[in-house]
Structure 1
């Protein structure tokens, strides 16, 4: 791991914001805390991100790239077929860092103040659907199955946030896949 000062300031700010926004929420995380924890000067912060909204947009893009790369890798690790979704989700839900979907959480926090978050979230979810579609076999109702599965995954993500164990959400997705894709 590189010493923190060797990492460019913009990257330090973005990774710090990513961790804090995902862990504590966007509204609950102030700019002063991000500045302090990233070890940059206030002027440096504002040179890279003129407003918190600019940082939020950058955070969501960064999160999108990281999550999609992780999701593709997890699907590959677990067999690269439709059934790989279940252990991939279980892997994520059981991680210590799991705090649900950063995009769903952001819509809940910011849709009224920053409507752009909804568009960013739609883009992220469409990319997730594209990744899932590569796993779903051809059938008459393939597009409907893919969309149903995406909604089920989003529901499982939310369920895993509040249930005492993520296993219930994982099992539900497994049952849904079995019912949708014989």
Structure 2
């Protein structure tokens, strides 16, 4: 097993375990066991848990954001597409809320590298929402971000598509009032 394979296996195990059970609840020994990566190789690839948590969040951010951007890219109603995508995500059987807010909730302003990834993820989501709102309506991004985040938190407590649908209706009303939102 080379370092690239070990990294992939470790990140796969970390993502599954951290998202399902929490970062603090899962130790490095559990990650090692689940990944099948020898302890020496684990610490060669990720010298500390903070490095593993940061890499997990970076990888999740890249995938999550790319999936959302893909769903919105060609939509006639890009903001509506955001909330449709969220409804599908909230309906997944393993949905446990936002991994980034979960990490922040567990670690607070703890490890700076982790906090940096969380902040960058939220800034990128805000940028995506500004693009979806359309030219001249970028200022709606903060309000749309609050609707997305609120729906995500509500869905974490009560999984299913309804929080996204309700937030999507609020977003549509906001956009209609501003004369924005469709291409």
Query: TM-score, length-normalised on structure 1?
Result: 0.87
Contact 2:18 2:26 in 1 (8 A): yes
Report whether the alignment pairs 1:161 with 2:156.
yes
Report whether the alignment pairs 1:72 with 2:69.
yes
1:132 maps to 129
In structure 2, list runs of 5 or more residues that go unmatched: 177-183
Contact 2:50 2:114 in 1 (8 A): no
1:71 CA displacement: 1.1
Cα distance between partner residues in 1 of 2:106 and 2:75 = 33
Report whether the alignment pairs 1:18 with 2:15.
yes
- 1:33-59 Cα offsets, whole Å, 9 max, x none, are 110111111000000011111111111
Cα distance between partner residues in 2 of 1:40 and 1:134 = 42
2:175 maps to 181
- Please state whether the residue corresponding to 2:26 is helix, strand or coil: coil
Q: Which moved more, 1:75-84 or 1:51-60?
A: 75-84
Equivalent in 59, 62, 76 of residue 62 of structure 1: 59
What are the within-5 Å matches in structure 2 for residues 77-116 of structure 1?
Answer: 79=76, 81-116=78-113
1:146 maps to 141
Contact 1:111 1:117 in 2 (8 A): no
Cα distance between partner residues in 2 of 1:118 and 1:44 = 26
Contact 1:149 1:176 in 2 (8 A): no
Cα distance between partner residues in 1 of 2:60 and 2:49 = 16
Residues 27/100 of structure 1: CA separation in 2 closer, same or farther (3 Å cut): same
How many residue pairs are counted as aligned between the two chains?
175
Report the aligned-residue RMSD.
2.0
1:117 CA displacement: 2.8
1:96 CA displacement: 1.4
Contact 1:159 1:166 in 2 (8 A): no
In structure 1, list runs of 5 or more residues that go unmatched: none
1:172 CA displacement: 2.0
1:74 CA displacement: 2.6
